[in-house]
Amino acid sequence: MPIHEIRESLEQSNVTFDNDGLAIVQKVINLKPNMSHKMLQCDAFLDNPFPELDGTAYFELLITPTPVIYTDMKIAGRTSRAPSAALENVLFKQTWEMDKGAITYKEEFPNRFISARPTFTWYMPKLYVTLFIHTDPENEGGLNDLALSVYCAVESKKTSLVTYGMGLIREDHIAQVAAVMSNGRAIEPSRNVGQTYPMWKYGGVRPEYMMKSDAFADFFGRGGLNESQKTVDPNNLRGFAFLARKMVPNLEAFGTGGDVKGDIPDWIRMFLPEGIVSGAIRDQWPPIKHADNGNVLTL
């Protein structure tokens, strides 16, 4: 399992920006095909830490096995941010800020000070060194004398064609969805404690709905053999079954409240006649399901 030490640089005498203040500089490094590659070490170095720049600019340096497509997310109020470091195709990412050529902020992933050494594995026989530069759209002077170097220690080993092919497909699919990556949910601070944890916040009896005694409730009442009873057609019963099993937010009463017939609790679905359910009904009852060899399965 040989270890290859790669040293490459990105150098441009002048970098111009588009109307949105975005510039992209990229270099492709070819690796051996039919191999699995493991990133052992990676680092970036600014050969010219004081380039000629008017105003403020934000830099994003990424090392990936596939081309990098900018996203709709923002960085410092500017659009077209690069994918997050959490994307599995991102092997190394470094960000920094320059104000008139002086560095005021710098971060990188993985952090070189962590005790555990990250070992990201990929199969694409390439490494893309991509630099995103974000600045004000009014910056017409561009960026002069850009120069940075990248160091990578890569361990490669032979792998089967099946593993290699599946790895290529996976990394290609990850690259296709990188621009639409979105996750996480917003939690209202008032609901943070007790929503799911800690459990001792839960307790007591969950509220229930009460049915009107003069409407649908008399269908479930016990009456004598000679006493008349209001009948309900199957379509209405299926509607009540649907309302009874409707999903509700946590800690609210099961069922549906405020219906034309009054509140519909969840327990009425347990007392409906056989065959009265919510949703489509099979033509044959009980349903029959066949296995691949034609045998009838017992459900």
Task: Sheet with 102-109: list strands edge to edge.
Answer: 22-30, 126-135, 56-64, 92-99, 102-109
pLDDT exceeds 60 at position 115 = no
Which has more pLDDT, 224 or 206?
206
Q: Would you place residue 134 in the very low, low, confident or very high pLDDT band (cuts 50, 70, 90)?
A: very high
Q: What pLDDT does 284 receive?
A: 60
pLDDT exceeds 90 at position 127 = yes
Q: What pLDDT does 12 receive?
A: 92
Compute the average pLDDT of residues 40-53. 89
Q: What pLDDT does 223 receive?
A: 61
Kindly report the pTM of this predicted structure: 0.65
Distance from C-alpha of 261 to C-alpha of 255, rounded to nearest angstrom? 13
Q: Which tens digits make up the pLDDT trace of 226-244?
A: 666 667 777 878 888 888 8
Q: What pLDDT does 282 receive?
A: 57
Which has more pLDDT, 65 or 56?
65
Q: Would you place residue 142 in the very low, low, confident or very high pLDDT band (cuts 50, 70, 90)?
A: confident
Q: What pLDDT does 106 receive?
A: 85
**Strands 92-99 vs 102-109: parallel, antiparallel or unpaired:** antiparallel
Q: State the average pLDDT for the chain.
A: 83
Q: What pLDDT does 224 receive?
A: 62
pLDDT exceeds 60 at position 116 = no
Q: Which tens digits make up the pLDDT trace of 80-101?
A: 899 999 889 999 999 999 887 6
Which has more pLDDT, 281 or 21?
21
Domain edges within the chain: 3-180, 206-290
Q: Highest mean pLDDT range out of 91-95, 103-107, 254-258?
A: 91-95
pLDDT exceeds 80 at position 250 = no
Of all residues in the chain, the percent with pLDDT exceeding 70 is 81
Q: What pLDDT does 136 receive?
A: 85
Compute the average pLDDT of residues 206-222. 70
Compute the average pLDDT of residues 258-271. 81
Q: What pLDDT does 290 receive?
A: 84
pLDDT exceeds 90 at position 286 = no
Weakest-pLDDT range from 13-22, 126-135, 152-161, 183-192 = 183-192
